[in-house]
């Protein structure tokens, strides 16, 4: 009877608490009667307002039971209580858990391990009405943290917990780490406080926030410049966002006292992002999401960005010399380990901040390759010898992104002189071509520049297998794009028979380069020295150039392989393909000549343009909504008139 009327918050936090203890290598037998504390951030549950709430059960909606039930079900005998601190509840619970482990004596040890967590579930509509009436919610349904259009937050829900234990125990005066349990990160400092007397209970306090962050830095015995990233508090309010950023900036990138400008450590950029922009305002569970985000980001050695940031809040002083970077894309850390700051606050004035340290988990990602460059790229007089296997038995071959090659058909180079081999490349419709050089036409013996988008006269590396140098290629690039017209919105219509037709608008571009330009590529070999250069030998005319490329659809229903599109013989520049969905919808892109540098995809700015050709086109793709095994015809049009390019893409249901 009690289980039937149990608050879902209690059920979910019990489940995740047990999972985190299992992840920490505790068994059920070890948990029973163990000194493990439970510190849960939660508030008055919305379940009491739900229609199916069993009000007859006293434990259904009791806040204390949220934490006590975990201790009861798992047999834990450490402290167990629920902290109702609003949006600071999760980090407040972590702060209390850390201090319960840190401040112990020989006579008193409350717990040897702690389980802090937070839970908040959206179970009733009443709080939406109240928050909307108070003006807290965003009218557009987006948490636009740090953005000039920030107008409120989007409500979110979450449930998370973690296991905390001392990083090392002192045995005979020597710190000893318990290697039997997995380790994900280190909490270097915690600080929880209240704003105190302010203009109002809900008003942000930048100076107090700055003091708390500075105390965390002092507590961890660090320099402010050691902190590379801040998971900033951002509730999508013009004022609160600006105050939070200024507080972090004053604490971690302070001005020089004499000049009033930032001088010390110039170049040590502080990355800023906010989890609320992606997960919404999760109230009592937001702090755990911040902690999870920072720890997992450290494992992958990347600073995770915010979303919905298009134009920076004008009240954020980011243009006065402060080295700040508001992440809109993933940015790697400088080193394999890093410190990060994260903080949360409640509407009633409680402030919490943590400093977290983590390192790259090389079981999850491969270490970044560090390119080592020689001081001299090429010595014309020669000297030395190439290592064995670095010369071809027959000839050098060139392979690339043009239509006759498609990265699968290498063509021989012509010997022009002693150690000089040449080949003429004609720029296609995109005004750029990528290429590599293969020894004897073998894709396991590839000469490459060791980097993508390489220019001429860089050192030649290899030979290597094609898998080891994928993406490393030279590029002859003649593009200088300029947008000439703003496209219209997407036009959705029906053909009268219930077959949907979606037509993307056309975008117009003008290029300074000329398709048809011919470049002579030359490989120079002088002893152990090798380099590649090229020069324009026959300028082409853009009006006379024709697109002889082949277009393919790469999609989720074909395993992101290449399905060839057929060219319409009656209408030049029109390519079509009939496809069948493998599920209830699918994503796709258009690729030219099987070259991942020539991907066409929708725009990232919300306007229905056809973007590209580019490398993966920013990760965007079109989505077709349909039934299982429903057939569609996809049509891609790309034409030129008077040097101006026009593109469009559409699809139409066939069944």
Q: What is the DSSP letter of 153?
A: B
Q: What is the DSSP letter of 567?
A: E
pLDDT at 303 over 70: yes
Query: Number of helices (H) and strands (E), helices first, in the chain?
Result: 9, 38
Q: Are 487 and 468 in contact (CB under 8 A)?
A: no
Q: What is the spatial distance between Cα 521 and Cα 576, in angstroms, rounded to a whole number? A: 34
Q: How confident is the model at residue 1 (pLDDT cuts 50, 70, 90)?
A: low
Most confident of 29-38, 308-317, 462-471, 561-570: 29-38
pLDDT at 511 over 60: no
Q: How many CB atoms lie within 10 A of CB 536?
A: 14
> Residue 448's pLDDT is what?
93
> Residue 501's pLDDT is what?
37
Cis peptide before 613 (omega within 30 of 0): yes
> Residue 492's pLDDT is what?
39
> Residue 259's pLDDT is what?
44
Tens of pLDDT, residues 445-489: 999 998 888 888 888 998 999 888 888 999 998 775 444 333 333
Q: What angle do CA 211, 316, 274 make, to 5 degrees?
A: 70
- Phi–psi pair at 429, nearest 5 degrees: -65, -25
Pseudo-torsion of CA 405, 409, 414, 415, nearest 10°? 130
Tens of pLDDT, residues 353-389: 999 999 988 877 766 555 555 566 677 767 778 888 8
pLDDT at 96 over 90: yes
pTM over 0.75: no
Q: How many CB atoms lie within 10 A of CB 59?
A: 15
**How far from 445 is each of 88, 412, 438, 448, 470, CA to CA, in Å?**
58, 14, 6, 10, 12
376-380, 419-423, 624-628: segment of lowest average pLDDT = 376-380
Give the chain's domains with CATH numbers.
1-121+157-183 (3.40.47.10), 122-153+185-255+268-365 (3.40.47.10), 384-480+511-539 (2.60.40.3620), 551-653 (2.60.40)
Q: Are 44 and 2 in contact (CB under 8 A)?
A: no
Tens of pLDDT, residues 315-355: 887 766 678 899 999 999 988 899 999 999 998 889 999 99
Pairing label, strands 461-464, 500-503: unpaired
pLDDT at 509 over 70: no
Q: How many CB atoms lie within 10 A of CB 377?
A: 13
E-assigned strand segments in 274-404: 302-303, 324-326, 331-332, 337-345, 350-359, 396-400
Q: Are 354 and 189 in contact (CB under 8 A)?
A: yes
Q: How confident is the model at residue 57 (pLDDT cuts 50, 70, 90)?
A: low
> Residue 114's pLDDT is what?
96
What is the pLDDT averaged over residues 146-152?
Answer: 91
């Amino acid at each position: 009877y009690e289980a039937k009327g149990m608050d879902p918050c209690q059920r979910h936090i019990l489940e995740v608490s047990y999972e985190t203890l299992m992840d920490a290598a505790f068994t059920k037998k070890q948990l029973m009667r163990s000194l493990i504390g439970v510190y849960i951030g939660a508030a008055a549950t919305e379940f009491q307002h739900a229609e199916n709430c069993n009000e007859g059960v006293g434990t259904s909606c009791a806040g204390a039971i949220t934490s006590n039930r975990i201790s009861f079900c798992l047999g834990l005998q450490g402290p167990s209580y629920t902290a109702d601190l609003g949006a600071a509840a999760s980090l407040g619970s972590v702060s209390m858990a850390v201090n319960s482990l840190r401040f112990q004596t020989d006579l008193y040890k409350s717990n040897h391990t702690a389980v802090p967590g937070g839970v908040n579930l959206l179970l009733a509509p009443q709080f939406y009405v109240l928050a909307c009436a108070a003006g807290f919610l965003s009218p557009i349904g987006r948490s636009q943290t740090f953005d000039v259009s920030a107008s409120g937050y989007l409500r979110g829900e979450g449930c998370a917990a973690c296991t905390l234990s001392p990083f090392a125990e002192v045995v005979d005066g020597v710190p000893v780490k318990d290697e039997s349990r997995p380790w994900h990160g280190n909490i270097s400092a915690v600080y929880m406080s209240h704003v105190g007397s302010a203009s109002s209970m809900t008003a942000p306090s930048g100076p107090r926030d700055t003091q708390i962050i500075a105390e965390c830095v002092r507590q961890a015995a660090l320099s402010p410049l050691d902190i590379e990233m801040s998971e900033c508090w951002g509730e999508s309010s013009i004022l609160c966002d600006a105050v939070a950023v200024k507080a972090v900036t004053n604490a971690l990138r302070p001005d020089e006292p004499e000049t009033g400008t930032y001088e010390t450590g110039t170049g040590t950029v502080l990355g800023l992002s906010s989890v609320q922009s992606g997960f919404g305002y999760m109230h009592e569970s937001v702090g755990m999401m911040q902690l999870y985000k920072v720890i997992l980001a450290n494992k992958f050695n990347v600073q995770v960005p915010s979303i919905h940031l298009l134009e920076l809040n004008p009240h954020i002083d980011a243009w006065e010399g402060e080295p700040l970077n508001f992440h809109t894309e993933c940015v790697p850390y400088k080193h394999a380990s890093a410190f990060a700051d994260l903080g949360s606050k409640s509407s009633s004035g409680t402030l919490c901040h943590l400093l977290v340290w983590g390192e790259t988990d090389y079981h999850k990602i491969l270490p970044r390759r560090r390119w080592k460059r020689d001081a001299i790229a090429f010595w014309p007089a020669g000297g030395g010898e190439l290592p064995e296997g670095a010369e071809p038995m027959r000839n050098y071959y060139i392979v690339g992104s043009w239509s006759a090659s498609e990265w699968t058909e290498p063509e021989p180079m012509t010997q022009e002189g002693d150690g000089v081999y040449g080949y003429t490349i004609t720029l296609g419709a995109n005004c750029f071509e990528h290429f590599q050089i293969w020894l004897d036409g073998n894709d396991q013996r590839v000469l490459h520049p060791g980097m993508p988008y390489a220019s001429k006269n860089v050192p030649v590396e290899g030979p290597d297998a094609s898998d080891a140098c994928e993406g490393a290629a030279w590029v002859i690039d003649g593009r200088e794009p300029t947008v000439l017209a703003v496209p219209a919105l997407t036009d959705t219509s029906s053909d009268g028979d219930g077959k949907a037709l979606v037509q993307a608008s056309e975008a117009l571009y003008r290029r300074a380069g000329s398709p048809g330009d011919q470049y002579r590529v030359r490989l120079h070999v002088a002893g152990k020295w090798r380099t590649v250069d090229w020069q324009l030998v026959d300028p082409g005319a853009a009006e006379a150039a024709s697109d002889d490329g082949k277009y393919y659809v790469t999609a989720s229903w074909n395993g992101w392989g290449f399905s060839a599109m057929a060219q319409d013989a009656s209408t030049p520049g029109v390519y079509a393909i009939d496809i069948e969905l493998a599920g209830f919808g699918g994503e796709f892109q258009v690729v030219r000549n099987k070259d991942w540098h020539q991907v066409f995809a929708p725009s990232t700015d919300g306007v229905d343009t056809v973007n590209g050709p580019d490398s993966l086109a920013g990760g965007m793709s079109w989505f077709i909504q349909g039934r299982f095994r429903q057939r569609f015809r996809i049509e891609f049009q790309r034409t030129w008139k008077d040097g101006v390019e026009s593109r469009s893409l559409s699809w139409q249901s066939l069944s």
